[in-house]
């Protein structure tokens, strides 16, 4: 099917701006607005009986899996093992009986993830594929399929597929928590309500695009950029760095904020922008103090937080991006958006081929 760019300059920007709509689509496939209850499409897997979850994927899809690990463990109280597919498929790790393996892929065709799925199936795991292409090979071969409804993603840099994966995984985590009796009705309602708000909150984040664009000029001058975060903000830091590398060709790294002082802080000087993912949550103070260590060494901080968090830092940062205040459970979905926009605007300033970055293919079907 032909997909146009609409009035956007690039597919990537169009796809970023589609997120409130396609997140809403994906959510509606799993959430009954009348009851407010999350109901997964039928998969022939007994979630109550799952003793362990293994998540396998590549690239950005791997990073949505990493967010899900934090969610599964904290909310559903289920241990999660996660690996990138190219390692998992040759690692030959012992897979527990009664285990559920989840494979996440936009295309459903990534060769390493497909091989990992076949390996897990042969080892007796129940398998779920989370794919954006419903007729893909992974969708055909897995025991169960949970489709993201992001629609065709043309830009090589994944954006809307990622946030739709996150929304879907959040719903899967809640359904698993309920099946296992790990969550009571009131807690479930709080999380479900937080998810239901994501499409409108995502639209608010997109309204802040101009402010993000204004920060891009300074980031475009940098040779290296660091992204830091804790908990589910850590995979978002990794995703921000991946986006920037892919499309702007600026060297970027994501780190767990608490790991900074174990090495990477040596990189900090006044030429290094540090993007801090800091929603108001139970780890805010910790991330904040890591940020102060960066500022003390001259690092140029771009601080992403909500109103309360931004008030905390005042005008001490080089730049701030204020996001709506949301339940910490859904924060990673919303904080994904400004890091996409920042990478996009930096790449445009650099004059790169945003939708078709050098050396990359949309779907990696060879090893």
Active site residues: 362
Q: How far is CA 146 from the centre of its chain?
A: 17
Query: Which uninterrupted H or E stretch holds 287?
Result: helix 284-296
Neighbours of 122 (CB within 10 A): 9
Cβ proximity of 294 and 301 under 8 Å: yes
Query: Measuring CA to CA, which residue among 26, 366, 320, 18 is closest to residue 168?
Result: 26
Which tokens in the block code for residue 198? 């994501």
Is residue 148 at the binding interface for ligand AGP, with CB under 6 A as the rule?
A: no
Is residue 158 a contact point for ligand AGP (CB under 6 A)?
yes
Q: Which one among 101, 110, 163, 176 touches ligand AGP, defined by CB under 6 A? A: 110
Our CB check for ligand AGP shows the closer of 189 and 360 to be 360
**The one segment of 94-102, 155-163, 167-175, 312-320 that binds ligand AGP by CB under 6 A:** 155-163
Q: What beta strand segments (E) does the chain contain?
A: 31-32, 37-38, 52-57, 80-84, 99-105, 126-131, 144-147, 224-229, 251-256, 273-277, 300-306, 319-323
Least CB distance from residue 145 to ligand AGP, whole Å?
A: 14
Count of residues touching ligand AGP (by CB under 6 A): 16
- DSSP state letters, 146-176: EE-------SSS--HHHHHHHHHHHHHHHHH
Q: Tell me if 59 contacts ligand AGP by CB under 6 A.
A: yes
Give min distance, CB of 165 to ligand AGP, in A: 8
Out of 19, 54, 101, 106, the residue judged to bind ligand AGP by CB under 6 A: 106
CA dist., res. 260 & res. 291, Å (int)? 10
Choosing from 107, 125, 137, 163, the residue that interacts with ligand AGP (CB under 6 A) is: 107
Minimal distance, residue 235 CB to ligand AGP, in Å: 13
The 227-246 site mask, x for binding ligand AGP (CB under 6 A), equals -------------------x
Interface residues with ligand AGP (CB under 6 A)?
58-61, 105-107, 110, 113, 156-158, 246, 360, 363-364
């Amino acid at each position: 099917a032909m997909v146009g760019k609409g009035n956007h300059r690039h597919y990537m920007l169009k796809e970023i701006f589609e997120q409130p709509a396609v997140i809403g689509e994906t959510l509606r496939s799993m959430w009954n607005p009348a009851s407010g209850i999350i109901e997964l499409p039928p998969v022939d897997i007994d979630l109550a009986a799952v003793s362990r979850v293994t998540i396998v994927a590549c690239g950005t899809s791997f990073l949505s899996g990493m967010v899900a690990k934090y969610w599964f463990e904290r909310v559903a109280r289920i241990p999660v093992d996660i690996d990138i597919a190219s390692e998992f498929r040759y690692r030959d790790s012992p897979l527990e009986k009664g285990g559920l393996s989840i494979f996440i892929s936009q295309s459903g065709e990534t060769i390493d993830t497909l091989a990992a799925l076949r390996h897990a199936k042969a080892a007796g795991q129940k398998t779920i594929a989370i794919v954006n292409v419903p007729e893909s090979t992974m969708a055909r071969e897995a025991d169960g399929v949970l489709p993201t409804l992001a629609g065709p993603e043309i830009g090589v840099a994944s954006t809307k597929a990622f946030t739709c994966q996150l929304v879907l995984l959040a719903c899967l985590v809640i359904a698993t928590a309920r099946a296992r009796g790990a969550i009571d009705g009131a807690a479930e309602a709080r999380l479900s309500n937080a998810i239901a708000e994501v499409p409108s909150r995502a639209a608010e984040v997109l309204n802040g695009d101009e402010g993000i664009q204004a920060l891009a000029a300074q980031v475009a001058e940098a040779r290296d950029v660091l992204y830091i975060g804790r908990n589910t903000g850590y995979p978002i830091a990794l995703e921000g760095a991946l986006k920037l590398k892919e499309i702007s060709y600026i060297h970027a790294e994501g780190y767990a904020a608490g790991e900074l002082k174990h090495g990477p802080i040596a990189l900090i000087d006044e030429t290094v922008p540090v993007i801090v993912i800091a929603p108001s949550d139970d780890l805010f103070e910790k991330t904040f103090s890591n940020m102060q260590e960066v500022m003390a060494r001259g690092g140029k901080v771009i601080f992403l937080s909500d109103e309360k968090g931004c008030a905390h830092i005042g005008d001490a940062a080089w730049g701030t991006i204020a996001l709506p205040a949301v339940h910490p459970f859904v924060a990673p979905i919303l904080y994904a958006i400004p890091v996409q926009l920042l990478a996009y605007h930096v790449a445009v300033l650099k004059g790169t081929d945003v939708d078709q970055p050098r050396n990359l293919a949309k779907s990696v079907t060879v090893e």
